[in-house]
Amino acid sequence: MLHNFLDEKLFIVSGNSEEELKKIIKEIDDNTKTMHIGLCNIWLLYAVSKQYQTSDEKIMCYVLKPEDPTGIKTHGRPVLTSIDKKILDPEFSERFQNNQEVLMFNPETGHIFEVSNLAWTHLINTIKKTETENRSIWIDPHDVSFEKYAYLSSLMNVKKDITLIYKKIGIRRKVYAVLSSKYYYGGLNEMMDLYMAINKNMRTELRNWNITHKIATINLKLFDAQGINEDLIPSMIINNSSIGESSLKITLCWKSKNGGTIIGPNISIQHRFDINEKIDEITEQIHKELYNNRMLYPAKLKSHSELIVPVTNFILNEHTQKKYKLIIEEKISEINKKLETAKVIGKSNNLKYEKLIFSFIENNKIYSMYEIFLLFIKATKGMEDDLSAELQSRLSKNLYKLAEI
């Protein structure tokens, strides 16, 4: 059983075993389902205030139907129903009864769904795209009132087919994505098939893997590209998502021996075909992007081997060391400005990043531009606790511009 599988914040699995990865992916795919449904056919359930609840086993709730969310038009009063508490996670049930959560209901199947924050965002964005009137729709994400969800339900009263991606454990179901009716769901097994096919065609080493609800990642070391630059190890990241947050793609990158990553180009992999039939084409594209073209990148970096200040002009000793360090720090700041790092990760994060690079400067060492570049790369690892995954990725991608300095 996957631990915390229906918890959008706590669910995370990682490791470095191929067999464990296969097992986890199969279990996730087996418990991830899609449902094609009309937007107007989704009902919302909103709990009646706790003070009016009369049962210890059931929860009384309002039924919000898109054609008449308040029930006034059809029945002259709100429509009520009750649900068993046992079909909900205890913590979720408590939040639902406190009107901090709202449920989805499929009247055709009778299934009740918990809803993730991301799925609510998807739903609102879908409604905005569907809205025919020339007016903006703004729904306060912090508003948990009955009126808000009645309004939201009324906006769902349109003829539009959608795809829900939900995950289930036992009788519990939770929606994680609201996507287009044309969305193709291939499962994480496509990523596993791609990894196995690459492994057969190229010499790789599985570094590690990491899976959350949003994104699944496999990190590989490439042996076929060794010997070009001993400081930067050619690597590959395979990404996919079980809820439509990422396409199946390969990201080529370089890992520093000291930690840190430079992210290079992406290769997108089309869905709906047998990867084993296309692996020769995919491998050829990897070679073209990484080996033939992009391996020039670390070579360009290493070509900057000139010393910042030649030893013949500047002999390091206890008196000159501080002055030399200031020169190196000025050079780092100059490079960082050219990279425009502040625009990428924000001013405050940029200050932390620059100070971190300064902290790596060693005493009694003469630096070349190339060695300073390596400090920039190393510092990306040290920023992981300060940056979100998105900003961390942006920082690593931005370092690709070092070759143009």
Mean pLDDT, residues 206-212: 93
- Pairwise pLDDT comparison (385 vs 257), residue with the higher score: 385
306-310, 334-338, 369-373: which has the minimum mean pLDDT? Answer: 306-310
Structural tokens at position 397: 């991608």
Q: Is the pLDDT reported for residue 137 higher than 90?
A: no
pLDDT for the residue numbered 164: 96
Q: How far apart are the first and last CA of the chain?
A: 51
DSSP-derived letter for residue 364 is T
Q: CA 360 → CA 27, 232, 365, distances in Å? A: 43, 18, 11
Mean pLDDT, residues 67-79: 89
Mean pLDDT, residues 321-345: 91
pLDDT for the residue numbered 227: 45
- Pairwise pLDDT comparison (307 vs 72), residue with the higher score: 72
Q: How many CB atoms lie within 10 A of CB 334?
A: 11
pLDDT for the residue numbered 290: 65
Q: Is the pLDDT reported for residue 43 higher than 80?
A: yes
Q: Where are the domains of the chain?
A: 32-180, 189-301, 303-404
Q: Is 337 helix (H, G, I), strand (E, B) or coil?
A: helix
* Partner residues linked to 211 by β-bridges: 13, 216
* Separation CA 59–CA 239 (nearest Å): 41
Q: Is the pLDDT reported for residue 134 higher than 50?
A: no
pLDDT for the residue numbered 184: 83
Mean pLDDT, residues 248-257: 84
Band of residue 294 on the pLDDT scale cut at 50, 70, 90: low
Band of residue 258 on the pLDDT scale cut at 50, 70, 90: confident
C-alpha closest to that of 234 among 223, 250, 245 = 223
- Mean pLDDT computed over every residue of the chain: 86
Q: Which helix (H) or strand (E) holds 205?
A: strand 204-211
Helices (H) and strands (E) in the chain, counts: 13, 14
- Pairwise pLDDT comparison (164 vs 323), residue with the higher score: 164
75-79, 163-167, 251-255, 282-286: which has the minimum mean pLDDT? Answer: 282-286
C-alpha closest to that of 260 among 117, 135, 132, 356 = 356
